[in-house]
Structure 1
Amino acid sequence: MGAKVILLVEDNISDSDLTRRAFQKNNIANELVVTQDGQEALDYLFGEGTWTGRNVQDTPIIVLLDLSLPGMNGLEVLRRIRDDERTKRLPVVILTSSKEEADVGAGYDLGVNSYIRKPVDFFQFLDVIKTVGLYWLAINEGPRTG
């Protein structure tokens, strides 16, 4: 089996492209699966909708979750991830431009593992992705999922 998948839930194409570039520049070789809304993310995780038939035992190593999503927002996605026995321990990092303190508190109340505000500057964003990759993919000992 190859490197574990990173699930990026991001509706902004520019931000998802920027994240992909940052992973490449930091030599993070994990496959990056991008879903553009909350429902698609849940469909991916639970093998439903367009992802019907996907092996749901093969859980992502981490979910990078934006909050501002069309339809179902990121906090609702997080709630559903934590409410399901199959994904309740899945590491989720909110990666968002939201500066709302209420969002930070709500994220932690719902069990997010980390809350990171996206830097506007590309080089700062590169550093954030490098740190996220190093910690979550190399240093952290995550729970067995699936």
Structure 2
Amino acid sequence: MRALIVEDDALNARVLHLALNAHFETVCTDDADRSVATYMQALDGDAPFDVVLLDLMLPGESGLTVLERIRTVETERGLPRVPVLITTAITDINIALRAFEQGHISAYLVKPLDLDRLLAELRTLGLIRAA
């Protein structure tokens, strides 16, 4: 199983990596363009990502734009939607609703992250086993 962590804060990226590395091979990116390029390379190779953890506040394009780009590629290629969990400090309910409506996200997790909730969401999605 592979997880793409899109996080521009090095400490947050490290925390997510440490929380997930028992369950996933993790790849971390820190901006919109690199994230989409990494996602595309994985699709074009033999190891697509099983889940994406996506920060909304990124340098350059926002995380919502990254989400839209990923969903466009999936639609164009006729692929199933990869589960996307938003990880953000943004608590604006309108942004959360937009993410759910436009991007069909699996979860919206507000920072500081509750790692138990993160793991519970991954269990609910069937991506990790119950403890």
Q: TM-score, normalised by structure 2?
A: 0.81
- Secondary structure in 2 matching 1:58: coil
Identity %: 29
Among 5, 12, 28, which residue is 1:15 paired with? 12
What is the alpha-carbon root mean square deviation over aligned residues?
Answer: 2.2
Could you say which residue in structure 1 is the equivalent of 2:38? 44
Shift of 1:104: 0.6
- Relative contact order (C-alpha < 8 Å, sep 6+): which is higher? 1
Q: Is the 8 A contact 2:3 2:53 kept in 1?
A: yes
- Secondary structure in 2 matching 1:98: coil
- Secondary structure in 1 matching 2:58: coil
Query: Alignment length, in residue pairs?
Result: 125
Could you say which residue in structure 2 is the equivalent of 1:126? 115
Shift of 1:95: 1.5
Q: Is the 8 A contact 1:93 1:113 kept in 2?
A: yes
Could you say which residue in structure 1 is the equivalent of 2:97? 105
In structure 1, the gaps of 5 or more residues are: 140-146
Could you say which residue in structure 1 is the equivalent of 2:61? 72
Could you say which residue in structure 2 is the equivalent of 1:142? none
Shift of 1:21: 2.4
Among 92, 109, 118, which residue is 1:117 paired with? 109
Alpha-carbon spacing, 1:133–1:105, altered in 2? closer, same or farther (3 Å): closer
* 2:7 is aligned with 1:6: no
Q: TM-score, normalised by structure 1?
A: 0.74
Shift of 1:63: 0.6
Structure whose alpha-carbon radius of gyration is higher? 1
Q: Is the 8 A contact 1:82 1:110 kept in 2?
A: no
